Chains A and B, each alone.
Chain A
Amino acid sequence: DDDDKKKKKRSRWGGSEHEKIFIPGMPTILPPNLDKNQEQAYLLQLQIEEVSRKLRSGDLGIPANPEERSPSPEPIYSSDGKRLNTREFRTRRRLEEERHALVLKMQGINPEFKPPLDYKPPVIRVSD
């Protein structure tokens, strides 16, 4: 009924048919004869490039409409009263973590893989 229809979320398709993501050097059409490893490596590379593009451009994919955003955690402030855990900060951290996981996976398939120049593996703190 009507209520059910309203409850259905927006389509997962983003934008119009003319809005496409263009990643230089990474076409989105694959030949049909790739083996599993080639295919997986290509998709991982594409995902790494896409996350890197977001981090570099600052276009982090935060929804413009506040209602579509996830709830914020309790704010944390620095000693001079600046908020530390802003949405941008949290999103960047999540994207860096995502990229790190992708790079590790990629290096598992291709040990020669060179991560993007702006990638830094996370610093592991012994104590916090």
Chain B
Amino acid sequence: PGLSLVGASGPATEVLCLLNMVTPDELKDEDEYEDILEDIKEECNKYGVVRSIEIPRPIDGVEVPGCGKVFVEFNSVLDCQKAQQTLTGRKFSNRVVVTSYFDPDKYHRREF
């Protein structure tokens, strides 16, 4: 709807951003956060070597950039591509997973 670019992934990188997957509310709870992290790590490790994962968590009274998104850094662009192909459109907590490649420099600077 008005976004003709949607569907085009842009150039592949080694960092995958997963959207529409977690809500800030779910991340508040320590156990639930750990559980979500584990579920994502386990699945992503099937498609390649996961180097790091960032899930920005909510902080009261602060607008945390990227909160509600999940960032997964893979060992290679190829692994990241494989993960995107397999994970996009699947369901996580009954929500449809949306993905996009993310700029690795921004990722390392934590500019979510």
Contacts and interface: CB of A to CB of B under 8 A. Distances in A.
Interface string A97-124: 0000000000000000000000000000
Contact of A28 (B5, B10, B88, B94): B88
Given A13-B43, A39-B19, A45-B1, A30 B6 contact: yes
B6 to A, nearest CB: 6
B contact residues, range: 35 or more
Given A17-B86, A33-B10, 10 more contacts: A8-B35, A12-B39, A13-B92, A15-B91, A19-B90, A19-B91, A22-B89, A27-B6, A29-B9, A45-B1
Interface of B: 1, 3, 5-10, 13, 17, 19-20, 35-36, 39, 42-43, 84, 86, 88-103
A32 B101 contact: yes
A19 B88 CA distance: 11
| Secondary structure call for the A interface | loop
Interface of A: 8-9, 11-15, 17, 19-23, 25-34, 38-39, 41-43, 45-47, 50, 61
Contacts of A19: 90-91
A47 to B, nearest CB: 7
